[in-house]
Structure 1
Amino acid sequence: MRIAILTALAEDPDHKGRKRAFRIFAGRSILSHQLDCAIDLGCESVVCLVGGLGQDVIACQHRAEAAGVRFQAIEDLRRLSGLVKADDDIFVIADGLLPAAEEAVRLLNERSGVLTLPVDPALGFGFERIDGQCAWAGMLRTRGQSVERLSDLPPDAAAASALLRIALQAGTRQTALDPALLLNGDWLLRADSPTLLEREKRWIAGRVSPVSFAAPGLATAERIGARLGRDIVGTRLERVPLFAAVGAGVLAALLATIGKPLVALALGTAMAVLLPIAGVIQRLGRAPRNRTRRFGVDAALRAGADLLLVALIALTMPVEGSAWLRLFVPTILFGLLRLGEQLALDSEPRGSFASWRALYADRILLLALVLPAAFFGLAQLLCAVLSLLVLGSLFFRDEEERGLTVD
């Protein structure tokens, strides 16, 4: 079994009375991000040494349980020996460390090791010296038998440092980290607030990757979601944008049934704005093992929103003519847009066509055009014209790809 040992005991020197592990990063505590790293490493159980059960610890427990991981908070170092077996794999993360999770997983996932950094400049960043040349980078992997020796130590001994010494005495190999991670602020232990804020911006940008402004509506909404996520991820407000989007959609459907199609379409536009904002916030807040599982929910929400928008647009069209024709035109438009998204995804990274994918997905821009047209009774004509434009762009893709395959 893989077990992670975390610690939340060290005081934050910048904020008296607060633990270093409970500093907020991207809406959640550093301890919560350490938990994510442990989950990425395949840990089935997490043991955290704490001074008491507070809200941050309880939030970590709920997050672990949502990912199918057992979380135990203990106050006595001696309890560790009863929770770990000799043949377990132990991952230790230093108190308050904010690592680059991808690099940690790459270096520790396959075999045991003690991650190290050069003494200069690591000591200046608060890392613990190992010898004359190396400092401990704050993470290691060792065998569970090392934990048995902790029972000989006093209850207030530093578990992480003790396990480091035991691992080194047992001959655990040392693995050097790239010092650039430290110098670039991607591997932090005792960071000041400006440094932590810069790391937070880079982390969010890497996690969200907002689309380009070739799709202005979607790009703006995703950047709003990224900024809002810094404030509400990990709080009770985290799901408010999602609930607001669903609520706007339900209200739009109700208004459409009582003969208010234009007002309903306006609410559908609000739903289209809120959905990408909520999607970004949900991506920032998901536990590692839930990230792929929730993509099915995201796809279902998008599909449901598109079906609703097709119906709302059809209801704003003139009553004259066949009812099926009113539904047919927006259905063709949305079908071509979805086909364009999929074809552009399949073509990546070949050709400039791949960069059009976000434009096909930009429902905000689409509704910004359709809503005024619907007000003047021109929604059917506009949808027909847009369908021809999208269809023409798909033929352009075929020409481009044929050109790329010519010898």
Structure 2
Amino acid sequence: MDAAQGEPQGLRGLLPIGGRSILRHQLGLAMALGCSRIVVLAETLTSDLVTLQHIAEAGGARFHVIASARALAPLVAAEDELLVLAEGLLAMPEDALRLLGDGPVMLTVPVEAGLPLGFERIDINNAGAGAMLLPGKLIAALGDLPGDWNPGSALLRIASQARVVQRELPALLLDQGRWRLIRDEAEAHRAEPGWVRLHTAGAEMRSPGSWIAAGIVRMLGPALLHAGTRPYVIALGAVITALLGTGAGWFGWCGPGFAMFALAWLVHQVAGLLARVERDSLIAWSGGAPLDRLADWILDGMFVTLCAWRSEIPTVTGVPWGIAWFPPVVLFLLLRLFQRLQPEEAWIWWLGDRFVIGVALALSSVLLPFDFVLRALVVSLLVAGLLLAGRFDGPLGKAPGDGGRPA
């Protein structure tokens, strides 16, 4: 790791992206590629490197900090493969895994595009793209070079002379910022919003709540991650908001209660997107999918409870206990049934958006006859289900082309 430009006390590898150092991102990539030994060239073992050592060892890899290139040779056997990542290289993991995952290769970029971005020239036409996967036997050639050679530069030239296969990096990766060198703190700050946007680009944003959640993450995600705010902390905020909504409903403020449930779902989506950013960038592991599904069911249960509390049916004399719970239970079961039957329908995504449902119920609770609206929604969904079924069935409920013959 070299000093960052303009930061004599700072190392390029420790520049932060998304609240984690670039070296932490590279460590995740190396572990994903199956590296069993991690070697960092640095003058001293700092506290940041100790933290990385613990992460690497927890993942089953050995961790070394060396002060000179000559110390690298004893750590690499001839039958090994050596992954070399340039200082400050920040690459989207799926791109790096695809380009580096199939044998010895040296990634390159055209020299006219690479040099302004900080990549190192190899020859008159090509510059190194900051990543190589080399046969371990090439490491022996480092012993023939002066000790003051930068090992990355030296290995770049050794690989070129050994005619390691060169693969040109697609220009689109550079244009979209999916592959870049971070050389100083200013570049790190400029790169961060784009890095968050790239990691949320594939999120399923098909309804208002998911659009808003993605916008919040893209706008506030870098600040949240830099502040050390982990996704589980934001998820805890969603739990607290939902509990406040339940408390509001208990005291008869059902409109605000529904609004708080909508906000709780939105906050939970933000936490999920941040967890996805960390997981996809290989800087954290998140196995919370079962818990996420359980949280969705619990929130629906809270919606049902608040709907039953809001209903005016229990005030009618002679009405059996529990009848007020029936319409909201049917409503939310229908919402889930539609999500399972037709998950790709655009309007179904709106039904699965609890932000939309919460806002609609809050407005109905304050402005409209709530019990009538609840029953109207149930009937509307049943009619929509019949119409949807009619699209896939022929006359008299027979599938088109079956001729009505028995199975």
- Paired residue for 1:322? 320
What amino acid maps onto 2:95 in structure 1? E
1:159 is aligned to 2:160: no
Determine the C-alpha separation between the residues in 2 that align with 1:45 and 1:228: 36
- Equivalence for 2:373: 382
Quick one: which of 323, 335, 338 aligns to 1:337? Answer: 335
SS at match of 2:322: helix
Contact 2:106 2:132 in 1 (8 A): yes
Matches for 1:145-184 after TM superposition, within 5 Å: 145-150=137-142, 157-184=149-176
Deviation at 1:232, TM superposition (A): 1.6
Match of 1:121 among 106, 113, 122: 113
Distance in 2, Cα, partners of 1:266 & 1:27 = 32
**CA shift at 1:141, angstroms?**
0.6
Question: Which runs of structure 2 are paired with 1:46-85 in the superposition (5 Å)?
Answer: 46-54=38-46, 56-57=48-49, 60-61=52-53, 64=56, 68-70=59-61, 72-77=63-68, 78-85=70-77
Structure 2 residues not aligned, in runs of 5+: 402-407
Note the C-alpha offset of 1:208: 2.0
Match of 1:29 in 2: 21
Which one-letter code corresponds to 2:326 in the other structure? F
CA distance in 2, matches of 1:247, 1:201: 29
Comparing 148-157 and 33-42, the one that deviates more:
148-157
Gap change, CA 1:58 and 1:370, over 3 Å in 2:
farther
> Following the alignment from structure 2 to structure 1, what is the Cα–Cα distance between the partners of residues 372 and 31?
52
Q: Is the 8 A contact 1:185 1:195 kept in 2?
A: no
Q: Would you say the 8 A contact 2:262–2:357 is kept in 1?
A: no
Partner of 1:245: 238
Cα displacement string for residues 131-184 of structure 1 (whole angstroms, at most 9, x for unaligned residues) = 222211111112233345546666654232233333334432111222343344
Q: Which moved more, 1:311-320 or 1:87-96?
A: 311-320
- Cα 1:339/1:101, change in 2 over 3 Å: same
3-state SS, counterpart of residue 334 of structure 1: helix
Asked whether the equivalents of residues 317 and 378 of structure 1 are also in contact (C-alpha less than 8 Å), the reply is no
1:305: which partner in 2? 299
For residues 288 and 306 of structure 1, do their structure 2 counterparts lie closer, same or farther at Cα, with a shift above 3 Å needed? Answer: farther
Larger radius of gyration: 2
Determine what percentage of the aligned residue pairs are the same residue. Answer: 29
Maintained 8 Å contact 1:43/1:69:
no
Query: In the alignment, which residue of structure 2 is the partner of 1:358?
Result: 349
Whole-angstrom CA distance in 2 between matches of 1:46 and 1:39: 9
Structure-2 residue corresponding to 1:3 = none
Query: Residues 87-126 of structure 1: CA distance to partner in whole angstroms, max 9, x if unpaired?
Result: 3322111111122432322122121111111222222222
Q: Alignment partner for residue 88 of structure 2, among 92, 96, 109? A: 96
Asked whether the 8 Å contact 1:242–1:278 carries over to 2, the reply is yes
> Deviation string for 1:12-69 (max 9, x for gaps)?
2254432222333334332232233324433344333334455654564565567x35
- Note the residue ranges of structure 1 that are not aligned, 5 or more in a row: 1-8
Look up the equivalent residue of 2:324 and give its one-letter code: R
Q: Distance in 1 between matches of 2:383 and 2:37?
A: 54
Question: What is the CA deviation profile of residues 240-291 of structure 1, one whole-angstrom value per residue up to 9, with x for unaligned ones?
Answer: 32111122334555676x6556365454343223111211122112264966
Structure-2 change in CA distance of 1:100 and 1:269 (3 Å) = closer
Structure 2: distance between partners of 1:324 and 1:53: 66
- State whether structure 2 residue 275 is matched by structure 1 residue 278: no
Which amino acid in 2 is paired with 1:72? F
The match for 2:210 is 218
**Distance between the aligned counterparts of 2:400 and 2:178, measured in 1?**
44
Aligned to 1:87: 79
Q: Which amino acid aligns with 1:343?
A: L
What SS does the aligned partner of 2:89 have?
A: coil
Secondary structure of 1:233 counterpart: helix
Q: CA RMSD in A?
A: 3.5
Provide, for residues 337-377 of structure 1, a one-character-per-residue CA deviation record: whole Å limited to 9, x for no partner. Answer: 122222333xx4xxxx2x22431221111111212433578
CA, structure 1 residues 377+389, in 2 after alignment: closer, same or farther (shift >3 Å)? closer
For 2:223, the aligned partner's letter is: D
How much does 1:235 deviate? Answer: 4.1
The CA distance in 1 between the partners of 2:271 and 2:63, in whole Å, is 31
More deviation in 125-134 or 244-253? 244-253
The count of residues paired between Structure 1 and Structure 2 equals 388
Instruction: Give, in whole Å, the separation in 2 of the partners of 1:102 and 1:254.
Output: 45
**Kept in 1: contact 2:19–2:226 (CA 8 A):** yes
Which residue type is aligned with residue 116 of structure 2?
G
The verdict on how the C-alpha distance between 1:277 and 1:103 changes in structure 2, with shifts beyond 3 A counting, is: closer
Using the size of structure 2 for normalisation, the TM-score is 0.80
- Go from structure 1 to structure 2 and tell me whether the alpha carbon gap of 1:147 and 1:332 turns closer, same or farther (over 3 Å shift): farther
